[in-house]
Amino acid sequence: MNPVVDIENVTFAYGDSVAVRDVSLTISEGDFLGLIGPNGSGKTTLLHLMLGLYAPDSGSIELFGEPVSEFDRGERIGYVSQQATSRGGTMPVTVREVVTMGRFPHAGHARLTERDREIVDDAMETVGITDLADQRANQLSGGQRQRAFIARALASEADLLALDEPTVGVDAESRDEFYRLLESLNESGITIVLIEHDIGVVTDRADHIACINQELYHHGDTESFVESDALTEAYGTSGQVVHHHH
Ligand code: ADP
């Protein structure tokens, strides 16, 4: 399998405060990777590094075999940030307009083609928001908004979806549905990196797990993680582990 993300010996500090220390991690095509660790352990920072939003202080990162600094994020990668979940944003754009933004890297400055419109419609259909197409995006529930952002990524024909705690503020039922959607997208060949504080969700859904606390404590398939001591080592005995209740 081709590496989609290849991180080698990456260290990054905010000023004097090291957030990610000497992390090496390869994510292969088709992986569904759960990225876990206690609060403040560097998960979001590592994701931002992967996406080229920050440059590492040392080490290297490649996306699809290219240095991340030269990678055009508009293509191949869909990113759903934590902030995407919250309300706010008063721009009165419709759901269809949000999803259509996914076509811009492809359409350039040209007008959208009939094919672009079809891709947008298909993306909305796939995530189940067709009937919300003409609603204002800022009037959606958290779960619906997440689906709109996923649809935007699908419209851009992303091969990699990076999600940072996508179900914060989403009710349990919508959350389950959302994770089933992620699973089926992954089965269709999309590589997924998911930050999720609920370890039960991660061990249920992800096929690989990376556990960090500044340093990488474990990376491997879910089974090897469950059998390892990485959880207690990375989280300590501070009781920060969030247990999952079915
Ligand atoms: P996580 O996503 O695991 O909660 P973060 O990557 O957000 O962790 O943060 C890792 C560490 O870096 C934390 O100690 C946090 O306080 C610090 N940090 C995060 N963002 C910034 C920033 N913009 N400036 C300074 N420190 C930051």
Task: Report the residue among 44, 49, 165 best suited for mutation to probe ligand 1: largest number of ligand atoms under 8 A from its CB.
Answer: 44
Q: Which domains does the chain have, with CATH numbers?
A: 1-73+199-246 (3.40.50.300)
Task: Report the residue among 11, 12, 14, 57 best suited for mutation to probe ligand 1: largest number of ligand atoms under 8 A from its CB.
Answer: 14
Sheet containing 3-14: order of strands? 17-28, 3-14, 58-63, 66-67
CB 40 within 8 A of CB 96: no
Complex prediction ipTM: 0.98
Q: Residues, the chain, total?
A: 246
Which atom of ligand 1 lies closest to the CA of 20?
A: 10
Which atom of ligand 1 lies closest to the CA of 37?
A: 3
Q: How far is CA 18 from CA 42, 168, 172, in A?
A: 9, 26, 35
Per-residue pLDDT in tens (0 to 9) along the chain, 246 residues: 789 999 999 999 999 999 999 999 999 999 999 999 999 999 999 999 999 999 999 999 999 999 998 887 666 888 888 765 555 555 678 999 999 988 876 666 567 889 999 999 999 999 999 999 999 988 888 888 889 999 999 998 999 999 999 888 788 888 888 999 999 999 999 999 999 989 999 999 999 999 999 999 999 999 999 999 998 999 986 545 555 544
At what angle are helices 114-127 and 142-155 packed, to 10 degrees? 140
Please report, in angstroms and rounded to a whole number, the separation of the first and last CA atoms in the chain: 34
CB 57 within 8 A of CB 99: no
Task: Report the residue among 11, 17, 48 best suited for mutation to probe ligand 1: largest number of ligand atoms under 8 A from its CB.
Answer: 17
Q: At a CB cut-off of 8 Å and minimum separation 6, what does 141 contact? A: 170, 174
